[in-house]
Structure 1
Amino acid sequence: MTDSIAASHQVVKVASSFAQFTKHLEAALGHLDRAMFGKVETEPAMVEAYLKQLGGEQDLVLFGMEDHGALLTIAGAPRRAKQYAIGNPLIAMSMTQHDMRAALYAPLRVLVYEAADQKVRVEYDLPSSLFGQFGNAAISKVADSLDAKLAALIASVDEQGAK
């Protein structure tokens, strides 16, 4: 079986430099201690308490970062480009408990890069367009809130980085 979905792709031009934007983005997010997941089967209440206090701006957490720009050094042309995995385990759980397929898109992927014009862009697929395919009102409500959270995070980080 093959299904196709249409994702709404967002491109945000920011005023900050690449270095300032990425620095402030990484500082704004909660940082996940993956070792805590090893305790979820034996100490679920403790893990839940940990995840609730993890915080981060807009309750978003950094799951990981890949420096795709540095990888281009192999081709002889390094660039400034980082891909971030951003989300919140508890928010993801609030969707996957209704439909496990939501795990395909949690955490979300956000690309920050310096374009050929030396301006910084932030690109991502709108969560509501990714999660909307499941046709579940509870998931769609969470996805809509993630649309707003990502937009607010990007605007706030850009404001901090542009100062």
Structure 2
Amino acid sequence: MKTMATEHTFSVTRHTLTTDKPFEAFISELEKHAPLVSPEVLGELADLNLPQDQLRARVEGLIGSSGFVLFMKAIHNQLFSHFGRTHASVQYAIGNPLIAKDVSDKAPAVCLYTPFRLAAYESLETRKTIVSYDSPASLFGSFGVPEAAEIGAKLEGKLQDLLARCL
């Protein structure tokens, strides 16, 4: 069996926002607009073998008012506090399964970034809440498929709207 490897270097735009809003208040607001949905729930839906329109309706019913769901929540400080950490930090996998389907139809390798990551953490110095994410437009655009870059730009706009509501 023959194997081939390639490398591709590209630029990514990272957005970082800082707010005086307390960390827990930000997290609560984020999860109100983008509910946490486990991968098992989506897997169970797929196993129901529903007609496409019914499956789409069920998936749409899981998506929050922001147009996003949270697929994963890694609460770093739960473990790290046992090692002396004194500030909170959380990483989310966030996205929209219907948008992910559309973009991966255009560029299959984009599944590397769907869902994408969002981090929220407290500043060590000021205790302000910081939110950071890599631009979906630059991530999706790295595949050289204009339609994927366009979807990434629209997704980024939706994310900016969500964060404006939460911050």
Matches within 5 A, 1:124-135: 124-135=133-144
Match of 2:76 among 59, 68, 77: 68
Give the one of 3, 7, 29 matched to 2:8: 3
Output aligned runs, 1:6-85, within 5 Å. Answer: 6-32=11-37, 34-40=40-46, 42-45=49-52, 46-85=54-93
Given candidates 140, 151, 161, the residue that maps to 1:142 is 151
Partner Cα separation in structure 1 for residue 115 and residue 150 of structure 2: 17
* Contact map agreement 1:10 1:124 (CA 8 A) in 2: yes
- TM, length-normalised to structure 1: 0.89
> Please, what is the CA RMSD of the aligned residues?
1.6
Between the aligned partners of 1:39 and 1:124, the Cα distance in structure 2 is: 29
TM-score with structure 2 setting the length: 0.87
Which ranges in structure 1 are unaligned for 5 or more consecutive residues? 159-163
Q: Which consecutive aligned stretches of 4+ in structure 1 deviate over 4 angstroms post-superposition?
A: none
* One-letter code aligned to 2:153: D
The Cα shift of 1:129 comes to: 0.8
CA distance in 2, matches of 1:48, 1:133: 28
Q: Could you report, residue by residue, the CA deviation over 1:107-147 in whole angstroms, capped at 9, with x for unpaired residues?
A: 11000000111111000101111010111122111100111
SS at match of 2:85: coil
Contact 1:30 1:59 in 2 (8 A): no
Structure 2 contact 138–149 (Cα < 8 Å) conserved: no
Q: CA 1:31 to 1:81, structure 2 compared with 1: closer, same or farther past 3 Å?
A: closer
Mean Cα deviation higher: 19-28 or 77-86: 77-86
Task: After TM superposition, give the deviation of residue 55 of structure 1 in Å.
Answer: 2.9
- Alignment length (residue pairs): 158
Take 1:118 and 1:31, find their aligned partners in 2: how far apart are those partners? 25
* 1:77-135 CA-partner distances (Å, limit 9, x unpaired): 24210111110100100101112111100111000000111111000101111010111
User: Structure 1 44/114 Cα, relative in aligned 2: closer, same or farther at 3 Å?
Assistant: farther
Tell me the CA shift for residue 44 of structure 1: 4.7
